[in-house]
């Protein structure tokens, strides 16, 4: 099989390090308890990437997770692209603790994977929600939050939102893009966060807020609507010219997880990319 991989920038390498560091701590702590802790990579990718900085191959999040010691009890990797799930299967060899799914994680997670991490089954899960864009349904995030057993890392793809949804004139936005945003956000309340019609005589909607305000409003929703008890301020992942590509969020029902991620996030906060 011809290897399939993405070329990634320094911000992706930082994200991979953050997630790897936390997965290692998480598995170490959970292994000491009588719980079934599982790892879920919902937008798993190919398992390896080509580093734009060094030109070398580097492990993607699935491979990093498979190398965590002590290991998770189960690994669940989902990708829409069948050649990528196949590649992960090859990387995993004959490990019986690895499950791969070719499909849309917005349907696979609620139907096949989250039910393995219920309170009744003494399940716990660390779930990565790492899309290229905003094609992640808020319903999935809410289900994870309400279960009380799942911790998530989530890429809040502000670049996709800025390019396709948050125009100065909201009337010029393609309805398809509005529908994507509503699905990602869970309703239309992002409009009230970003637009106001009281600043002009004509009652036109005008964009009045920026990236940080939108990210903070999403953080509030993770706590107040999805029900995650702990949501640290996300880390802005920036490209070489300092533009934020996405915010890396963590959300958890667990105070210890929160404390560890705060510590890791603070090491990387505002580092940006070289």
Q: Give least dist CB 108 to ligand SAM, A.
A: 7
Q: Which of 66, 91, 92, 105 binds ligand SAM (CB under 6 A)?
A: 105
Q: Give least dist CB 6 to ligand SAM, A.
A: 6
What's 69's DSSP letter? S
Residue 80 binds to ligand SAM (criterion: CB under 6 A): yes
Give 45 or 194: the residue with its C-beta nearer to ligand SAM.
45
Give 77 or 194: the residue with its C-beta nearer to ligand SAM.
77
Instruction: Compute the distance between CA of residue 68 and CA of residue 244 in angstroms, rounded to an integer.
Output: 29
Q: DSSP states of 94-134 as a string? A: T-TTEEEEES-HHHHIIIIIGGGG-TTTTEEEEEEE--SSS
Interacting span for ligand SAM (CB under 6 A) from 104-112, 172-180, 196-204, 264-272? 104-112
User: Largest Cα–Cα distance of the chain, in whole Å?
Assistant: 68
CB atoms < 10 A from the CB of 128, how many? 22
Q: Which of 14, 23, 44, 134 binds ligand SAM (CB under 6 A)?
A: 44
Binders of ligand SAM in range 115-144 (CB under 6 A): 128, 130-132, 135
Residue 104 binds to ligand SAM (criterion: CB under 6 A): yes
Label residue 31 left, alpha or beta by phi (over 0 means left) and psi (-120 to 50 means alpha): alpha
Q: Which of 39, 43, 228, 246 binds ligand SAM (CB under 6 A)?
A: 43
Instruction: Compute the distance between CA of residue 134 and CA of residue 159 in angstroms, rounded to an integer.
Output: 9
Q: Give least dist CB 20 to ligand SAM, A.
A: 10
Helix ranges (DSSP H) in the chain: 10-31, 61-66, 82-92, 105-108, 138-147, 158-164, 175-185, 190-194, 211-224, 255-268
Give 140 or 231: the residue with its C-beta nearer to ligand SAM.
140
Residue 78 binds to ligand SAM (criterion: CB under 6 A): yes
Residue 257 binds to ligand SAM (criterion: CB under 6 A): no
Residue 106 binds to ligand SAM (criterion: CB under 6 A): yes
Q: Which residue has the tokens 């936390």?
A: 22
Pairing of strands 206-207, 195-196: antiparallel
Omega before 70 within 30 of 0, i.e. cis: yes
Burial of 130 (0-12, 13-18, 19+ CB in 10 A): buried
Interacting span for ligand SAM (CB under 6 A) from 39-47, 139-147, 209-217, 228-236? 39-47
Q: Give least dist CB 81 to ligand SAM, A.
A: 4
Q: Give least dist CB 45 to ligand SAM, A.
A: 3
Give 74 or 130: the residue with its C-beta nearer to ligand SAM.
130
Binding site for ligand SAM (CB under 6 A): 16, 41, 43-45, 60-61, 78-81, 84, 104-106, 128, 130-132, 135
């Amino acid at each position: 099989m011809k290897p399939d991989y993405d070329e990634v920038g320094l911000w992706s390498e930082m994200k991979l390090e953050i997630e790897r560091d936390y997965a290692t701590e998480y598995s170490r702590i959970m292994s000491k308890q009588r719980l079934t802790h599982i790892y879920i990579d919902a937008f798993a990718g190919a398992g390896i990437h080509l580093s734009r900085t060094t030109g070398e191959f580097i492990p993607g999040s699935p491979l990093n997770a498979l190398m965590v010691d002590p290991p998770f009890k189960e690994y669940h990797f989902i990708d829409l692209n069948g050649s990528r799930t196949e590649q992960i299967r090859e990387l995993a060899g004959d490990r019986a603790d690895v499950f791969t799914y070719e499909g849309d994680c917005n349907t696979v997670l609620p139907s096949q994977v989250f039910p393995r991490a219920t309170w009744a089954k003494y399940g716990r899960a660390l779930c990565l929600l790492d899309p290229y864009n905003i094609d992640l349904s808020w319903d999935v995030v809410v289900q994870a939050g309400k279960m009380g057993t799942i911790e998530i890392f989530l890429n809040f793809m502000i670049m996709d939102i800025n390019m396709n949804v948050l125009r100065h004139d909201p009337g010029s936005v393609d309805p398809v893009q509005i529908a994507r945003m509503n699905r990602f956000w869970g309703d239309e309340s992002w409009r009230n966060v970003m637009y106001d019609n009281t600043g002009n005589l004509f009652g036109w909607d005008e964009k009045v807020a920026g990236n940080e305000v939108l990210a903070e409003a999403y953080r509030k929703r993770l706590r107040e609507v999805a029900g995650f008890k702990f949501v640290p301020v996300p880390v802005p992942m920036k490209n070489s010219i300092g533009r934020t590509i996405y915010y890396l969020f963590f959300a958890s029902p667990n105070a210890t997880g929160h404390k560890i991620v705060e510590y890791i996030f603070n090491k990387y906060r505002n580092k940006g990319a070289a």
